[in-house]
Homo-oligomer: A and B are copies of this chain.
Amino acid sequence: MPPPQHRITEQVVSSFSDAPPRLREVMSALVEHLHRFVVDVRLTPEEWREAIGLLTATGHITTEERQEFILWSDALGVSMLVDALEHELPPGATESTVLGPFFVPGSPLREYGANIASQRAGDPAWVFGRVLTTEGDPIAGAELDVWQNGDNELYAVQDPGAPDDHLRARFTTRDDGTYGFVGVRPVPYRIPSDGPVGRMLAATGRHPWRPAHIHLIVRAPGYRTLTTHIFDSTSDHLDADAVFAVKPSLLREFVRRTPDDPEAPPGTAGDWYSIENDLVLVAGTSEEPVGDGRTA
């Protein structure tokens, strides 16, 4: 005779027998895996109550401005997993990674070479490269949507002391596929840790840090939209990103340069950095990025 827990799982799975095929598949698999988890760890009633309490607190801290369920998905690696399943790429294509919670649509369109910092926010960083097909041909008129933090760790959307369009902008590639803008050297920062996800991180001995990076979304008609990062290859926390979003192919060298360098961005008084970063798109149709609670 099977133990009673197997009968419960069978009963629940068979309750979905009249569901449409895909929904039946998803709900049956959800129940099977959820039940196996409960049985494997022999979840106690006290732990079950704790889980209900955590979910309830997650629901109550979640607002239009803050998506704690997505933060759970990020912090448990689910966002990256869904992304990995969706994006099986041909060789040479730029890899994708999480969108993160700080993307705000509608950044201002700027000209090639513009500076996206509205106020001092760290050492200048000249970010440049080409948008290319997997055959190496330039893609003219592709849109780059970029956003990053400054040396106070904050994105403009989090920072009451910064204008809305600080450190964010959209650019269009030139006829030869090139783009370029002046940002700042990004710094590591902590994911929001004052809610249930933060409690989990603290209780399990995990830290909330993400390595320094610049966010990009690249869109071009006839190509799959690419949501990715440029990671600083010398940043702390590359081996332990709190949301598991680092891919080795996305690391770039931030090359240190001096103010007397003839290529220094206009008005640069101290050391600056240059970062070369080509972006290779895959032919296809656009997709919504994973990880964005606010633009869904």
Contact segment of A40-48, A152-160, A174-182, A276-284: A40-48
Please report the C-alpha to C-alpha distance between residue A287 and residue B37 in the assembled complex, in whole angstroms: 22
A285 interface residue (CB < 8 Å to B) = no
A212 to chain B, nearest CB (A): 19
Q: Mark A59-72, 1 if CB is under 8 A from B, else 0.
A: 11010000101100
**How many of these chains are in the complex?**
2
Chain B, residue nearest A245 (CB): B8
Interface residues of A, CB < 8 Å — how many?
73
Contact B293 A42 (CB under 8 A): no
Please give the distance in Å from A17's CB to the nearest CB on chain B: 8
- 10 closest A-B pairs by beta carbon, nearest first, are A59-B59, A18-B205, A12-B77, A19-B204, A33-B37, A33-B33, A4-B84, A55-B69, A45-B290, A48-B82
**A203 interface residue, CB < 8 Å from B?**
yes
* A30 to B: closest C-beta gap in Å: 6
- Whether A85 lies near B36 (C-beta < 8 A) is no
A9 within 8 Å of B (CB atoms): yes
With an 8 A cutoff between CB atoms, is A5 at the interface? yes
- Give 9 pairs: A residue, B residue, CB < 8 Å, sorted on A: A8-B77, A8-B84, A16-B206, A19-B205, A35-B77, A35-B81, A52-B73, A55-B55, A56-B62
Instruction: Decide: B29 and A82 in contact? CB cutoff 8 A.
Output: no
CA distance A15 to B36 in the complex (A): 22
B53 touching A59 by the CB < 8 A rule? Answer: no
Decide if A70 touches B45 in the complex (CB within 8 Å): no
> What residues make up the interface of A, taking CB atoms closer than 8 Å to B?
3-5, 8-9, 11-12, 15-16, 18-20, 23-27, 29-31, 33-49, 52-53, 55-56, 58-60, 62, 67, 69-70, 73, 76-86, 200, 203-206, 240, 244, 287-290, 293, 296
A69 contacts B56, C-beta separation under 8 Å: yes
Secondary structure dominating the interface of A: helix
Chain B minimum-CB-distance residue to A18:
B205
Q: From known contacts A8-B244, A52-B293, A77-B12, infer whether A37 and B30 are also in contact, taking CB-CB under 8 Å.
A: yes
Pair A84/B296 contact, Cβ less than 8 Å: no
Contact call B59/A296, Cβ cutoff below 8 A: no
Shortest Cβ distance from residue A103 to the other chain B in the assembled complex, whole angstroms: 14
- Are A70 and B58 within 8 A (Cβ)? no
Of all chain B residues, which has the CB nearest A3?
A: B84
Q: How many Å lie between the Cα of A58 and that of B57 in the bound state?
A: 11
Residues of B within 8 A of A16 (CB): 204-206
What residue of chain B has the Cβ atom nearest to residue A287's Cβ? B45
- In the complex, what's the smallest C-beta–C-beta distance from A239 to chain B, in angstroms? 10
